[in-house]
Amino acid sequence: MDQTRRAFLEKASTYIFLTGAASVAWEYVEARTPQLAPNYKDTDHWWGMIIDIEKCIGCGSCVRACKAENDVITDEDGCFRTWVERYQVDPLNAEHPTVASPNGGYDGFTALDQDGDGVKVFFVPKLCNHCVDSPCVQVCPVGATFDSPDGVVLVDKDRCLGCRYCVQACPYGCRYIDPRTHTADKCTLCYHRITKGLTTACCEVCPTGTRQLVDLKNPEDPVHEFLRTHKVHVLKPQMATGAKVYYNGLDGSVR
């Protein structure tokens, strides 16, 4: 790689500066007053995600990265902030797809036995849709689940009663009870990272660029161009939750 010492130093100093700035912001995030951070203004952002189904190879890196980054429990069933499903759809029987997500796709998928049997196969990564009108936020009896001003649905573990009403209310199965804290848990869109100017762990490791964190309030974000030029869909649109995870190439059989 052709890199001069000067270019390297310029780049490195930018990173060092950014890290310093981020650590300032993080102090405010931790104090639960991110809006007061001098270099991260939550009202300037509106976070979401784009998932390009055509690009997903079902490697499960996102699931592993999410669990590692967010200390999601791995030795118990049913604790996934993100997971990957494999759909096998017979075009003539699209209402009855065969779906699998062994261990949430954590270990990837084993190859299918048959090839070329007329069945289409694709992967669907899933995570919290960070809905604008979240049913989970609506039902929480104490407001432990809330919308951040930058469009992320978060859970305050110190307030959550563990009544599980939010788990029932989520149409997408994105929530679970953390057996260690007995409180509701779900994807935070790596809030601790995105408020520092980083992307989410799942987007960071995705080898094919299937998942992309997007800031819908940032006019420079390529998401606007993407949404203009692609036919995108959200999961279960009939639920009218205002989901902000947009899927490109989503098959009608996906639920």
Partner 1 sequence: MPGVEGYIYPNEVELQWSILIVLYPYITGLVAGAFILASLERVFNVKALKPTYRLALLTALAFLIIAPLPLQMHLGHPERSFEMYLTPHTESAMAMFGFVYLWYLMAVLVLEIWFDYRKELVLTWRASTGWTKRLYGALALWSDDISPEALAVDDKVGRIITVIGIPSAFLLHGYVGFIFGSIKANPWWSTPLMPVVFLFSAIVSGVAAVMLVYMALATIRKIPIDMKCVDTVAKYLLYAFLVDFSLELLDLIHRLYEADESFRALDFMVKTRLFTSQIVVQILLGTFLPILLLALVQFRRFSDATRRWIYSVSGVLTLIGIFAMRWNVVIGGQLFSKSFLGYTTYKLEFATREGALSAIIFMIAPLVILAVLVRIFPPWPAQEDARIQ
**Binding-site ranges for partner 1 (CB under 8 A):** 77-80, 83, 85, 96-101, 103-104, 126, 135, 138-143, 159-165, 167-177, 181-183, 239, 255
CB-nearer residue toward partner 1: 40 or 176: 176
CB of 143 to partner 1, least distance (A): 4
Beta bridge partners, 155, equal 145
Sign (positive/negative) of CA torsion 146, 154, 213, 85? negative
CB of 178 to partner 1, least distance (A): 9
CB-nearer residue toward partner 1: 25 or 177: 177
CB of 167 to partner 1, least distance (A): 5
CB-nearer residue toward partner 1: 212 or 241: 241
DSSP-assigned states of every residue in the chain: ----HHHHHHHHHHHHHHHHHHHHHHHHHHTT-GGG-TT--GGG--EEEEEEGGG-----HHHHHHHHHHT---SSSS--SEEEEEEEE-GGGTTS-EEE-GGGGTT--PPPS--SSS-EEEEEEEE----TT-HHHHH-TTS-EEE-TTS-EEE-TTT-----HHHHH-TT---EEETTTTEEE----SHHHHTTT---HHHHH-TT--EEEEETT-TT-THHHHHHHS-EE-SSGGG-----EEEES--TT--
CB of 5 to partner 1, least distance (A): 49
CB-nearer residue toward partner 1: 39 or 88: 88
CB of 22 to partner 1, least distance (A): 31
CB of 106 to partner 1, least distance (A): 9
CB-nearer residue toward partner 1: 14 or 138: 138
Question: What are 224's two structure tokens?
Answer: 């606007």
CB-nearer residue toward partner 1: 34 or 135: 135
